[in-house]
Copies of this chain bind each other. A is one copy, B any other.
Amino acid sequence: MRRMAILCSGGDVSGMNAALKRFVEYALMRRIEPFFVYDGYEGLIDGRIVKAGYEDVARILTLGGTNIGSARSKRFMEASYRAQAARQLQKRGIEGIVVLGGEGSFKGMQLLHQEHAVAVAGIPSTIDNDIAGTEYCLGVDTALNTVKCQIDAVRDTAASFRRAFVIETMGRECGYLALVSALTSGAEMCLIPELPYDLQAYEARFKRQLQEGRRYFIAVVAEALKKTDEIAAWFASRIGVESRTVVLGHTQRGGNPTVYDRITAFRFVTRAVDELLRNRSGVVCLEGSALTYKKVEDVAFKPYRISEELLALWE
Of A86-94, A103-111, A178-186, A230-238, the stretch lying at the interface with chain B is A178-186
Q: Judge whether A313 and B144 touch: CB under 8 Å.
A: no
With A251-B154, A259-B144, A291-B309 known to touch, is A65 a contact of B244 (CB < 8 Å)? no
* Inter-chain contacts of A258 with B (CB < 8 A): 145, 148, 258
With A145-B259, A259-B180 known to touch, is A156 a contact of B71 (CB < 8 Å)? no
What is the oligomeric copy number? 4
With A61-B185, A183-B266, A288-B290 known to touch, is A157 a contact of B253 (CB < 8 Å)? yes
* Inter-chain contacts of A154 with B (CB < 8 A): 250-251, 254
Q: Judge whether B8 and A266 touch: CB under 8 Å.
A: no
Q: How far is the CA of A169 from the CA of B178 in the complex (A)?
A: 24
Interface size class of A (residues with CB under 8 A): 35 or more
Q: Using an 8 Å CB-CB cutoff, how does the interface string of A200-217 with B read, 1 for contact, 0 for none?
A: 000000000000000100
Q: Judge whether A249 and B250 touch: CB under 8 Å.
A: no
Q: Using an 8 Å CB-CB cutoff, how does the interface string of A31-71 with B read, 1 for contact, 0 for none?
A: 00000000100000000000000000001011111110111
Q: Does chain B have a CB within 8 A of A247? A: yes
Q: Judge whether A263 and B180 touch: CB under 8 Å.
A: yes
Closest to A8 in B: B160
Q: Judge whether B246 and A246 touch: CB under 8 Å.
A: no
Q: Judge whether A160 and B313 touch: CB under 8 Å.
A: no
Q: Judge whether B251 and A150 touch: CB under 8 Å.
A: yes
With A135-B289, A250-B244, A309-B267 known to touch, is A14 a contact of B184 (CB < 8 Å)? no
9 pairs across A/B with beta carbons < 8 Å? A69-B161, A148-B258, A148-B259, A150-B251, A181-B259, A244-B249, A246-B250, A287-B288, A288-B289
